Chains A and B, each alone.
Chain A
Amino acid sequence: MNNRLINWFKYASPQSFYPVAGKMIPWFAALAVLFGIAGLWIGMAVAPTDFQQGEGYRIIFIHVPASWMSMFIYLVMAFWAALGLAYNTRLSGMMAQALAPTGALMAFLSLWTGALWGKPMWGTWWVWDARLTSELILLFLYIGFIALQASIDDPRRADKAGAVLALVGVVNIPIIYFSVKWWNTLHQGASVSLNKAPSMASLMLWGMLLMALCFWMYSIAVALHRVRTIMLERERGTEWVKDVLQQEAAK
């Protein structure tokens, strides 16, 4: 095992992951701010006004990255959940628990900005379109996950029960993705796809990609911060937590 460049299993224990996460957080936070400034500058100042939708379209610079993140975080959560069930590692469950609130926030942001965008464009805050509905279901799934974990006192059982729920819920992700093709209603099709050239100006695309990167970095930084807190809380009886707290108090 030890002839590998990095022994990944070493970082599966909270004790060794805690300081690493602490070192990574400032970097990801700084990158989030940098990408955010660049993305917002391109999105709000440089990108041209859309000839159909006017200035209102600029909300997609928040809306689309938030929707992407809300779905992606659920996948990452399910990945950690599966890992936790398979290898029985403590850190996996903590990661899933740390990601859930951020994912719920992203789903809520996506719905909220979508409503703000829908009012001027479609003339209504909300339509029962497949994509909107499945994003709403995704928010419900996050809330169910958080509620289930909150109501189980034993953290090991909470992790495992949450993991099963996350894996069951992951069935919902393809339904979200294919719903555009299945129901084909009011919501426009995906604007960016891998197969054909995007149907938007490249400046807008750049703004959106930068904002997506910003959301990524933000989510990583926040999830790492939260997982550090969870580690301290769950391992409060152990020696290394005492050491860490003493060191931090001494600073």
Chain B
Amino acid sequence: MITTIGAITARDLKLAMRRQADIVSVLFFFIIVASLFPLGIGPEPQLLKKLAPGVLWVGALLATMLSLPRLFADDYRDGTLEQLVLAPQPLGLTVIGKVLAHWLVSGLPLALLAPVLGIQFDLETDALLILTVSLLIGTPALSGIGAIGAALTLGLRGGGVLVSLLVLPLYIPVLIFGAGAVDATVTGMGAEAHLSILGALAIGGVFFAPWATAAALRISLE
């Protein structure tokens, strides 16, 4: 089981490393979106500080969503995906491996980059810490749930827009508790409750989403 997941993850990571521009462009998308908000809203530090958790979380959400089509599209185009579906290993495990690789190249860098952007929004140190922790906990759920949308829209016209329509509503609980955790720290209430629910969502998402994704992949490849 571990070897299946590990092999798929290693393969996807290697492929991602050969095309580093894809990873970097998603990160720059995140940076640009986060920088657009102060330009649109105005430079008052108090206002920006209040908006920061939501802005950074929404930015991370959109950046993750943009990178979703990459999850299966290339393998679908060159036929690898069909072979993976036919392979004797359970498809759910394969999907977990791919989701893990997707998280390592999109969610993890986003979470590590977020505190740098948080400084621009004048967040305190403990809020920056919670922002990173909440993104570290929350982004696996985003990758897992997003995989369902990516699998359902595989090979469809207008797939990119459709993914956002399907996936963004399902992201809302993660957004609420992720941004809520940072917000609670800023207002001095403590983030444990939010982080616990976020952790529950992440565990639930990562556990159940791969099986739904596997079902969706089988349907898309029929």
Contact = CB atoms under 8 A, between A and B. Distances in A.
Contacts of B212: 164, 167-168
B202 to A, nearest CB: 14
B216 interface: yes
A147 interface: yes
**Which DSSP category, helix, strand, loop or mixed, fits chain A's interface?**
helix
Interface in B144-192: 148, 152-153, 156-158, 162, 165-166, 168-170, 172-173
A43 to B, nearest CB: 32
B219 interface: yes
Contacts of A156: 222
Contacts of A175: 173
A127 to B, nearest CB: 15
A164 B169 contact: no
Contacts of B166: 144, 147-148, 165
A141 B169 contact: yes
A157 interface: yes
A229 to B, nearest CB: 24
Contacts of A144: 165-166, 169
Nearest to A159: B219
A185 to B, nearest CB: 12
B220 interface: yes
Contact of B169 (A140, A148, A151): A140
A161 B222 CA distance: 11
B215 interface: yes
Contacts of B158: 151
B165 A143 contact: yes
B68 to A, nearest CB: 14
Q: How large is the interface on A (under 10, 10 to 19, 20 to 34, 35 or more residues)?
A: 20 to 34
**Which DSSP category, helix, strand, loop or mixed, fits chain B's interface?**
helix
Contact of A161 (B152, B157, B168, B170): B152
A36 B210 CA distance: 45
A156 B220 CA distance: 11
A56 interface: no
A101 interface: no
Interface string A167-179: 1110010010000
Contact of B219 (A141, A147, A157, A172): A157
Interface in A128-175: 133, 137, 140-141, 143-144, 147-148, 151-152, 156-157, 160-161, 164-165, 167-169, 172, 175
Contacts of B170: 168-169, 172
Nearest to A140: B169
A176 to B, nearest CB: 11
B157 A164 contact: no
A141 B165 CA distance: 8
Contacts of A152: 156
Given A157-B220, A160-B219, A137 B169 contact: yes
Contact of A148 (B153, B157, B168, B222): B153
Given A137-B169, A137-B172, A169-B170, A164 B219 contact: yes
Interface in A209-241: none
A128 to B, nearest CB: 10
Given A144-B169, A168-B170, A172-B169, 20 more contacts: A85-B215, A133-B172, A140-B165, A140-B168, A140-B169, A147-B162, A147-B166, A148-B152, A148-B153, A151-B162, A152-B156, A157-B220, A157-B222, A160-B219, A164-B215, A164-B216, A165-B148, A165-B152, A172-B170, A175-B173
Interface of A: 85, 133, 137, 140-141, 143-144, 147-148, 151-152, 156-157, 160-161, 164-165, 167-169, 172, 175
The 6 closest A-B pairs by CB, nearest first: A140-B169, A160-B219, A144-B166, A144-B165, A161-B152, A137-B169
5 contacts: A151-B153, A157-B219, A168-B148, A168-B170, A168-B212
